Structure 1
Amino acid sequence: MGGQRVSGVPVIDGHLDLAYNALNGRDLTLTLDVLQSGDPVAGQTATVTFSELRAAGTRVCLGTLFALPHSADAPGGYCDHAQARAQALAQLETYQRWEDGGHLRRLRLGKEVAAHLAGTDPALGVVLLMEGADPVRDADDLPFWIDAGVRMIGPAWGRTRYAGGTDAPGPLTAAGRDLVAAMCDLGVTLDASHLDDAAFWDAAELGPRMVASHANARARVPGNRHLSDEMARAVVATGGVIGLVFLDTFIRPGVHAGAKEVALADLADHARHYAKLVGWDHVALGSDMDGGFGAERTPVGIERYRDLPRFLEELPAEHRAAVSGGNWARWLTAHL
């Protein structure tokens, strides 16, 4: 099924770090074979290029602005807001350059998503998602990013100035509360992926519209990176959609990273868990297949992005089109 649409519905991927990869030296305008032959990112075999996305039938994705914080593993990461903002602005410029070159179309409104899905433009439609809010100076800075096309913000990655996050427990900060309140006022959707439980529930109390662009089920894999059942229900209570992540250690506990021992059926277990909990109408794709890992850490049978539709064969036939893209299409056209 690789590269084929399901029941005429195009693929919509809820999470791809396209510009982040470009600034790491990957030229996504190349074919994958050419990119892999000179891949500048060591130890992570590239899986995503624009041609791979087309081959998979992907018409739209949520493309991130992701600023990487400083750490022992990322000595070039940001140490303050100004550095985080500079990373995000450089990525924004990358999206603009790609758009100028005809590789993608930035989509800001639901009617633009609907027209792109119905049309024949071969360019990838991209809705901008900010992953980790440190590039935002404060709540008063939010209109700048909205004008730039950002329609969703995840306040956390690890800990940020706004929220506790993955492996960094903590609530919303005072600045985080102000930011989420401003997001509610201005119609910016909150991406719950990466939020620590305390921060998640603080945010939920403020009443934002929520999605989880890339978050698997904690019932299958322990840890605060994944959604508890209660969190998944809260996301869906706002009408939200949850995207499934294709990273091995997010799919099955106790696996050896990169050992290629995770099956697509294991990822389908997450889909079925969410479906039992909140219904198939809220289960979608958020592959994150270029998000700091390569083909070494995808499920068996997924060696490059065009293989992604193979996952859909593990799902009930009557729900494949919805998970492939129908659920994201419904949400995007209704809420952007």
Structure 2
Amino acid sequence: MRAPASPLLIDGHLDLAWNAAQGRDLTLSLGTLRAGDPLKGETATVTFGELRAAGTRVCFGTLFALPRSPESPHGYADHAGARAQALAQLEQYRHWEDAGQVRVLRGGAEVAAHLASPGPGSPLGVVLLMEGADPVRDADDLPFWVGAGVRVIGPAWGRTRYAGGTDAPGPLTAEGRELVTAMRDLGVTLDASHLDDAAFWEAAELGPRLIATHANSRARVPGNRHLSDEMARAVAAAGGVIGLVFLSSFVRPGWSVGQPRARLADLAAHAAHYAGVVGWAHVGLGTDLDGGFGREKAPAGIGRYRDVGRLLTHLPPGAREGVAGGNWARWLTTLF
């Protein structure tokens, strides 16, 4: 089945620079990248060519610093290490921008102008998103990152100096409350995707702009990585959008490698659940298709990024354009 054409696709979450840091050259064709891929066991799906083929005009591109763990012994152990990773990735986006591959978008007017001038050679619009705030020294350091183009920050990934996160329950720390307050005052949007419940509700009460770039429904897959219905309502009440994640273990509860991949119909059920809670206007894409997993863990029918549009055939016709990109476009051009 051929993926349906989409006039506009916006992805709420891609780890482009992180992949480049692992040795992937996203300017190559997908076949060439796969033939020499340095990341084994996760078949690549994302390149700039694939994004163009899918009709992707804008994405939220991360600055993601990987913390040290038994599985990642070369990750960061302190703020300086996290900052070094984020700065290197920031430089990668600048390199791509100089080469005409991307255009970093710093506000709603720039997004609107970018969307109004599509063309076959047009660069990918990128909104810079920091996933996990450990690269930020403290609240006083936030203006530096804003000046560098960062417009969205998720305070947590797992636990950080700022907040409890995925599989790491806990509230905002004192530093976290200061950071979220500074984000609110500087107009930096908070990405709630990885926040633990306690940290989420503390952050929401402080009143920053609020979205969830990549988070499926906890009603369908248990765990603090996903949004409860109450969290989804809070994001929607702030005018935000929630991006759907294309990872089988986030789509079907109990899924593990070796089982048949989750179905796109299962992912569409997450979308329909959110729509029943907050309405279709708050549902978008946040595929995370290059976020530490490959084709093997993507839903069945997703063999490469250009297949993303296949999800739309499982949604009500009236919702497809909004989920594909229209809802993110509205948020980006009116609330960003």
Q: Sort the TM-score into its range (normalised by shorter chain).
A: over 0.9
**The residue matched to 1:43 in structure 2 has which SS?**
coil
CA distance in 2, matches of 1:333, 1:323: 16
Deviation at 1:41, TM superposition (A): 0.5
Residue in structure 1 matched with residue 226 of structure 2 by the alignment: 226
Q: TM-score, normalised by structure 2?
A: 0.98
Counterparts of residues 34-113 of structure 1 (less than 5 Å): 34-113=32-111
Residue in structure 2 matched with residue 308 of structure 1 by the alignment: 308
Residue in structure 1 matched with residue 211 of structure 2 by the alignment: 211
Deviation at 1:258, TM superposition (A): 5.2
Contact 1:165 1:196 in 2 (8 A): yes
Q: Deviations over 1:33-91 (max 9, x none)?
A: 00000100011100000000000000000000000000011111000000000000000
**The residue matched to 2:171 in structure 1 has which SS?**
strand
CA distance in 2, matches of 1:253, 1:320: 25
Residue type of the alignment partner of 2:85: Q
Q: Does 1:261 align with 2:261?
A: yes
**The residue matched to 2:12 in structure 1 has which SS?**
strand
Cα distance change, pair 41–266 in 1 and its aligned pair in 2 (3 A)? same
Q: Which range moves more in the overlay, 320-329 or 201-210?
A: 201-210
Q: TM-score, normalised by structure 1?
A: 0.98
CA distance in 2, matches of 1:97, 1:260: 39
Contact 1:2 1:309 in 2 (8 A): no
Contact 1:3 1:55 in 2 (8 A): no
CA distance in 1, matches of 2:303, 2:261: 13
Deviation at 1:120, TM superposition (A): 2.6
Q: Deviations over 1:78-131 (max 9, x none)?
A: 000000000000000000000000101000011111111110352100000000
Residue in structure 2 matched with residue 198 of structure 1 by the alignment: 198
CA distance in 2, matches of 1:130, 1:255: 28
**The residue matched to 2:61 in structure 1 has which SS?**
strand
Residue in structure 2 matched with residue 271 of structure 1 by the alignment: 271
Residue in structure 2 matched with residue 239 of structure 1 by the alignment: 239
**The residue matched to 2:19 in structure 1 has which SS?**
helix
Contact 1:229 1:277 in 2 (8 A): yes
Deviation at 1:255, TM superposition (A): 1.4
Deviation at 1:5, TM superposition (A): 3.6
CA distance in 2, matches of 1:257, 1:212: 26
Deviation at 1:252, TM superposition (A): 0.6
CA distance in 2, matches of 1:34, 1:210: 39
Contact 1:14 1:214 in 2 (8 A): yes
Deviation at 1:335, TM superposition (A): 2.2
CA distance in 2, matches of 1:213, 1:117: 19
Deviation at 1:3, TM superposition (A): 6.0
**The residue matched to 2:204 in structure 1 has which SS?**
helix
Residue type of the alignment partner of 2:182: A
Deviation at 1:260, TM superposition (A): 3.5
Contact 2:312 2:324 in 1 (8 A): yes
Counterparts of residues 133-148 of structure 1 (less than 5 Å): 133-148=133-148
Deviation at 1:4, TM superposition (A): 5.0
Residue in structure 2 matched with residue 334 of structure 1 by the alignment: 334
Cα distance change, pair 35–260 in 1 and its aligned pair in 2 (3 A)? farther
Where does structure 1 differ by over 3 angstroms across 4 or more consecutive aligned residues? 1-5
Where structure 1 has 5 or more consecutive residues not aligned to the other structure, the ranges are: none
Contact 2:4 2:313 in 1 (8 A): no
Deviation at 1:208, TM superposition (A): 1.1
Deviation at 1:334, TM superposition (A): 1.1
Residue in structure 1 matched with residue 293 of structure 2 by the alignment: 293
Provide the alpha-carbon RMSD of the alignment: 1.0
Contact 1:5 1:11 in 2 (8 A): no
Cα distance change, pair 258–193 in 1 and its aligned pair in 2 (3 A)? farther
Q: Which range moves more in the overlay, 178-187 or 119-128?
A: 119-128
Residue type of the alignment partner of 1:144: F
Number of aligned pairs? 334
Counterparts of residues 14-33 of structure 1 (less than 5 Å): 14-33=12-31
Contact 1:17 1:65 in 2 (8 A): yes
Residue in structure 2 matched with residue 171 of structure 1 by the alignment: 171
Deviation at 1:257, TM superposition (A): 2.7
Contact 2:4 2:310 in 1 (8 A): no
Percent identity, aligned pairs only? 72
Where structure 2 has 5 or more consecutive residues not aligned to the other structure, the ranges are: none
CA distance in 1, matches of 2:195, 2:308: 26
**The residue matched to 2:129 in structure 1 has which SS?**
strand
Deviation at 1:205, TM superposition (A): 1.2
